[in-house]
Amino acid sequence: MKKISTLEYNTLIWFLIRACFTELTLTNIIYYVKQDAWISIIIGILLGLIPFFIYEYLKQIFPNENIISLNNKIWQKGGKIINLITFITSLLLVTYTFFILIKFTGTLFLYKTNLWIISTALIIPIGYAANKNIRIISRISLMLFYVSITFYFLIFSGLVRNIDISNIKPLFESNPKNILNCSLIFIGINIIKIYYLNMIPKQKIINYSSKNSLIMYLISSLSVFIISIIVICVLGINLSILYKYPAFQLLKRVNFLVFDRIENILSIETIFAMFIEIIIMIHYLKETISINFNKKTNKYVIFICLFILIISNNTFINYKSSEDFFTGPFLYITLLIIFILPLLTLIKSLLYENT
């Protein structure tokens, strides 16, 4: 694996945290806790520091290992089982993420186009990029990061004059249990996916700094927090609940310099994030096959992409029921596997280091 820069690595954190937020997370959180959505996100950011530091600590104490080889090293034969469980979970997760991408793209840009055509057009560049090494993927991420951050400031500057802070009142109207559950939705869909960056050993990152990664974590989390505040403060809670993609409806109000109605251009920023996330997750699946079974993985990327393409267009066609599943039972399965298993690996590794 060729080395990547710290900035390239950190831009991957930016995209993993932001992916699916406006397309899935925000809609669900607003539906359940209304104007208290921002409270759930703050709690989620704070609780999300727990898995973040677990992943960071593993990277620090085993700088030459990625999470896949580390499981095999720490758990020995059991490591393959842990990696297989995580592989299956990740395969389902990336498949659903891809489904969200094609539904979002179809709804916003190609609403009269068959989903098979949209998904086929999307999976080809994703599969091509995922088949490259992590250095190329990270450079793509860095390039898109500059575009993304530019779009972000365009959105903010175009909406800041429309903010009405009174729309977040009254505060703490929702049940505390619902607020906490929505925090878990935010963690499970957005924060927990930084796990996949543990497939990149520390030694493969030039001048790696946990402090810089933490700063990017906070910046990325703050960016989605600001999005949630702006949506509620500009649209109001009644309109926010009414729209399927309230953040996209918000973009229709963006006016920048002599341009207006630039929502289609700015919505590409959210698609960038999902593209990077899906590419990273497929690359993780590829690495799992390579390390666990010592196989050349180029052809397996094709099989993974075909699986994603077929399942996303058949199994998840009932969008509402699949959304309930992936923000309900499967969400907690994901948290269990991608949070608890690395935590157990961390505990086991500390015992391993002391023997």
Where are the chain's structural domains? 4-354
Whether pLDDT at 326 is above 70: yes
pLDDT for residue 258: 46
pTM exceeding the 0.95 threshold for the entire prediction: no
Mean pLDDT of 135-141: 87
Q: Which residues, including other chains, have CB under 8 Å from residue 81's CB and lie 6 or more apart?
A: 75
4-354: CATH, from 1.20.210.10, 1.10.1060.10, 3.20.20.70, 1.20.1740.10: 1.20.1740.10
By DSSP bridging, strand 259-260 and strand 255-256 are antiparallel
Distance between CA atoms of 268 and 130, rounded to whole angstroms? 20
Whether pLDDT at 90 is above 80: yes
Whether pLDDT at 45 is above 90: yes
Residue with the two structure tokens 């935590």: 343
Q: What torsion, rounded to 10 degrees, do the Cα atoms 80, 82, 86, 88 define?
A: 60
Distance between CA atoms of 79 and 293, rounded to whole angstroms? 12
pLDDT band at 323 (very low <50, low <70, confident <90, very high): confident
CA-based max dimension of the chain: 67
pLDDT band at 129 (very low <50, low <70, confident <90, very high): confident
With vertex at residue 22, the alpha carbon angle to CA 113 and CA 246, rounded to the nearest 5 degrees, is 80
Give the SS3 label for residue 5.
strand
